[in-house]
A and B are shown apart, each in its own frame.
Chain A
Amino acid sequence: MTETPVALIVFLTAGTVAAVVLALLFVLARKDLSRLRRHSGAVETQLHGATRQNADLGARLRAVEEEFRHLAQNRIPDLATSLRHRNVPVRGPLGSGTLTPEIDRSISAVLGQVSEEVVKERQRVDFAAQAAMRGSTTTIQALLYQLQSLLQRMQEKYEDPLVAEDLLSADFLNEQALRRIQSTAVVCGAWPGLTRENSHLADIVVGAMSRLSGYERVQVTNQLRDPVGVVARAVEPVAITLTELIANALHYSHPDLPVVVTIQQGNRGVSVIIDDAGVGMHSDELERARRMISGEETVLMTDLGDPPRIGFAAIGQLVQQYGFSTHLEASPYGGVRAIVHVPGEPLLTLLDEEEKPMSAMAPAPPERASLPGRGGTDGLPLTAASALLDGPDADAVPDELPRRRRRRPVPSDSGTADAATPERTGRTGPEDGGSPTSASRSGSPSPSVSTSRSTGTTPDAAPSRSAPPTSPEESADIWAAFQQGTASGRAAAGIEDGLGAGPAPVSGLGSGRGSSAAGSDDSRTRETGGGEAPGDGASPDAEHIEHRTSEGNPPA
């Protein structure tokens, strides 16, 4: 009976132990399982995150690729275009945060460098082209000036009307060619190619318009108070500028419409105003033209277009170099108004009209255009003129104007003038009498002649002025004076030719025209042939000739 319980106990014990072990194992397995489950969850999340990140990266890579494609396909071509045409915008990057700032910076650095290099290279090529043009235009210009001189000499030389007309046409064609060459040369950086003398502004305006076909349409009005001229170095630049502006006005207005040019004098300089009634300019055209004539940008030949529009560019160059200014605006006539302002301080001077008369084709200022009895012009304020030259704050000292030599200081009232310049009146005597070879006549209708006549009028000068052909009385006077002068001169020189002593010596050839000669002859006439004289009051001179010739016939 003992054996069975032992065995039972052994089995029970073994069973118990096994159960316990199993229980422990179970517990452990449960624990392990839960741990594993947790781990797998974490791994799963990780995997998920990684996948998402992968997708993000893929998208970003695509964006970057897109960005670079945009750079190659759009931005660089944009840059190239914008280098040619300034108004074309260069597109920016597609997205803002696609690229790192570092890469962004390097890309823009590359773009900047490319554009800089392109601009430099373009300038190099352009300047080389300009130099080549300059070289050839200078030569052509010199040749055309020689041709001009030749044509001018031929015009003086050949009088045949047919030849003359052809010469004039050739001259005009030459002027037009010169204008083109000259403005091209100026755009290419050459100097105008010619230094002139100090010249009247009106001459410059007329000279400028003469270089253009259609100059007949230009109407020039001169409103200068003083004989204002431009100093030598600026004459040709101002002429070129005016030529191009007038050319623009002529080109953009109807062939029947006039182009009105007005020369005005201001306090600090002179202005030439060019108005046309043509098609006008749009605001952007006007803007572009203003930019070009300001001369503030470097002119490239590639900017001038095809066919090149060189006029405004040439003006820009000259304005920049010589210091006058040009302005463009819409004209009240409907077209364009261009104003060239030449400042008085460095660029203007007053010219002596006797030493340097205006050309015949230049319009005279209104007050000087009228002839005798123009009294007021000589009294024109010197102060205004000196203010023009010296600026507004300079004090007007007449000594500052050595060039301004008015013919003579004519006081405005004629009485004092008469007293002050008797010799002058005397000298104009024979001229009044109609002698055609008067050396004192100046090229321009010299106002001195007219003033001296109008102010210093002797009673017998009046009829001769109104009637150029001399009357017999005047002729008698003149010849009497002439003979007396000759006789007295011979007497003074001690020439004995049987004439005997002359009458009372008369001071000069012409001065005998006055009362002394007439008086002495008068008395003689009354002595010798008093009976025939109807009266000595009205015109005793008429009888002088008759008596003298009647006496001359029978030799004494």
Chain B
Amino acid sequence: MTPPPRDHRRLVPAYLATTGRGRPSRNTLDRLTVLLAPADPATRDLRPEQRRLLQLLQPGPLSLAETAAHLRLPLSVVRVMVADLVDAGLLAARAPVPDAELPERQILEKVLDGLRTLKSSR
């Protein structure tokens, strides 16, 4: 009875993170939504995965997609978790900057030019 080669099969399934829920309580969360956690979250009554998420955001904000990758969970599940935390007031979600609101390319180029001039003029 030779065991097969090692299988990297997951041990803990994703549905455990949300007790099977896949529908977030808010539909405003994009994969580029930036998540910000308060500096010292009250982690007492939280579930382990929620605590892990808040800790992950301690060094700084991350996008939803990055958070999901770090937690190694499907995006849909993390979205539900984030929606719960935002509802509980433990997490701030900032919508991604829409394309239309980004500074124009010409302005950025001008700024770059200016910066370079600054360097060269020194």
* Chain A hits for B116, CB < 8 A: 498-499
State whether the Cβ of A70 lies closer than 8 Å to any Cβ in chain B.
no
Q: Which residues of A contact B43 (CB under 8 A)?
A: 369-370
Q: Hey, what's the 0/1 contact readout for A160-177 against B, CB within 8 Å counting as 1?
A: 111111111101100100
B105 located at the interface, meaning its Cβ lies under 8 Å from any Cβ of chain A in the complex = no
Digitize B1-26: 1 where CB-to-A-CB distance is under 8 Å, 0 elsewhere: 10110111111111111111111100
Once the chains are docked, how many angstroms separate the CA of A172 from the CA of B77? 14
Q: B37 in the interface, Cβ–Cβ < 8 Å?
A: yes
CB contacts (< 8 Å) of A500 on chain B: these are 119-120, 122
Shortest distance between the CB of A121 and any CB in chain B (Å): 27
CA A169 to CA B16, docked complex, whole Å: 11
When the two chains form their complex, are residues A465 and B7 in contact, meaning their CB atoms are under 8 A apart? Answer: no
Cα distance A487–B45 in the bound complex, in angstroms: 50
**A524 touches B (CB below 8 Å):** yes
In the bound complex, residues from chain B placing their C-beta under 8 Å from that of A371 are 40, 55, 58
Residues on the B chain within 8 Å of A215, using CB: 16, 19
In contact, B3 and A168 (Cβ under 8 angstroms): no
- Cβ contacts under 8 Å, A469 to chain B: 36, 61
How far apart are the CA atoms of A338 and B25 in the complex, in Å?
A: 38
Contacts of A361 in B (CB 8 A): 12, 16-17, 47-49
Of A145, A168, A487, most buried by chain B (CB within 10 Å of CB) is: A168
User: For the side of the interface on B, what is the size category?
Assistant: 35 or more
Report yes or no: B6 in contact with A232, Cβ–Cβ below 8 A. yes
**Which residues of A lie under 8 Å from residue B14 when comparing CB positions?**
152, 155, 168, 171
Q: Does A197 contact B (CB under 8 A)?
A: yes
| Chain A interface size range | 35 or more
CA distance A364 to B48 in the complex (A): 7
Measured between beta carbons, the chain A residues less than 8 angstroms from B114 are: 548-549, 551-553, 555
Contacts of B31 in A (CB 8 A): 159
| B117 with A197: CB separation less than 8 A | no
From 64 to 122 in chain B, residues with beta carbon under 8 angstroms from any chain A beta carbon are 66, 70-77, 79, 111, 113-122
Q: How far is the CB of A239 from chain B (nearest CB, A)?
A: 7
A252 near B: Cβ within 8 Å?
A: no
From residue B55, how far is it (CB to closest CB) to chain A in Å?
Answer: 3
Compute the total of residue contacts between A and B using a CB distance below 8 Å.
199
Are B48 and A465 in contact, CB atoms less than 8 angstroms apart? Answer: no
A185 at the interface (CB under 8 A from B): no
User: In the complex, which residue of chain A has the Cβ closest to the Cβ of B51?
Assistant: A369
- Inter-chain contact B7/A195, CB cutoff 8 Å: yes
B53 cross-chain contacts in A, Cβ below 8 A: 360
Known: A158-B76, A165-B23, A441-B59. A468 touches B51 (CB 8 A): no
Q: Let me know if A436 and B48 touch, CB within 8 A.
A: no
In the complex with contacts A149-B9, A467-B39, A172-B52 CB distance below 8 A: no
A159 contact from B37, B71, B76, Cβ within 8 A: B76
A172 touches B22 (CB 8 A): no
- Quote the shortest CB–CB distance from B120 to chain A (angstroms): 5
Bound CA span A450–B49, Å: 19
Identity of the chain A residue whose Cβ is nearest the Cβ of B37 in the assembled complex: A468
Output the residue of A159, A194, A468 with the most chain B CB within 10 A: A468
Chain B residues whose CB sits within 8 angstroms of the CB of A165 once the complex forms: 20-23
A362: min CB distance to chain B, Å? 6
Closest-by-CB residue of B relative to A172 is: B15
Q: How many angstroms between the C-alpha atoms of A502 and B122 in the bound complex?
A: 9
Q: A483–B59 contact, CB under 8 A?
A: no
A164 x B77 contact (CB < 8 A): yes
> A residues 214-250 with Cβ under 8 Å of B?
215-216, 232-233, 235, 239
Q: Are A487 and B72 in contact (CB under 8 A)?
A: no
Cβ < 8 Å to B, chain A residues 356-414: 359-364, 369-372
Q: Shortest beta-carbon distance, A479 to chain B, in Å?
A: 8
Partner of B6, one of A196, A370, A432: A196
A432 to B13 alpha-carbon distance, docked (Å): 33
Residue of A nearest to B14 (CB): A155
* B77 close to A204 (CB less than 8 A): no
Q: Which residues of B contact A370 (CB under 8 A)?
A: 43
A499 contacts B22, C-beta separation under 8 Å: no
Residues of chain A within 8 A (CB-CB) of B49 are 360-361
Query: Which residues does chain A contribute within 8 Å of B72, judged by CB atoms?
Result: 359-360, 443
CB neighbours (8 Å) of B58 from chain A are 371-372, 445, 450
Minimum CB distance partner of A364 in chain B: B48
Within 8 A of B (CB), among A408-455: 431-432, 434-438, 441-445, 449-450, 453
Contacts A164-B77, A197-B6 given; does A203 touch B11 at CB 8 Å: yes
A171 near B113 with CB under 8 A, answer no
Contact with B along A328-358 (1 / 0, CB 8 A): 0000000000000000000000000000000
Q: How far in angstroms is the closest Cβ of chain A from B65? A: 10
Instruction: Name the B residues within 8 Å of A172 (CB-CB).
Output: 13, 15, 20
One of A194, A499, A553 near B9 (C-beta < 8 A)? A194
Question: Could you give 30 example pairs across A and B, Cβ below 8 Å?
Answer: A159-B76, A164-B23, A164-B76, A164-B77, A169-B15, A207-B11, A207-B12, A215-B16, A359-B11, A360-B17, A360-B48, A360-B53, A361-B17, A361-B47, A364-B48, A369-B43, A371-B55, A432-B60, A441-B70, A443-B72, A468-B57, A483-B119, A500-B119, A500-B120, A503-B122, A524-B122, A549-B114, A551-B121, A555-B117, A556-B117
> Which B residues fall within an 8 A CB radius of A?
1, 3-4, 6-24, 27, 31, 34, 36-37, 39-40, 43, 47-49, 51-53, 55-63, 66, 70-77, 79, 111, 113-122
Point out residues on A near B: beta carbons under 8 Å. Answer: 145, 148-149, 152, 155-156, 158-169, 171-172, 175, 191, 194-197, 199, 203-204, 206-207, 210, 215-216, 232-233, 235, 239, 359-364, 369-372, 431-432, 434-438, 441-445, 449-450, 453, 465-469, 483, 487, 498-500, 502-503, 524, 548-549, 551-553, 555-556
* 12 extra interface residue pairs, beta carbon distance < 8 Å, beyond A161-B79, A369-B43, A444-B55: A155-B77, A168-B14, A171-B15, A172-B13, A172-B20, A360-B52, A431-B59, A431-B60, A444-B56, A465-B39, A468-B39, A552-B111
- 8 tightest A-B CB contacts, nearest first: A552-B114, A165-B22, A445-B55, A164-B76, A164-B22, A168-B15, A207-B11, A195-B3
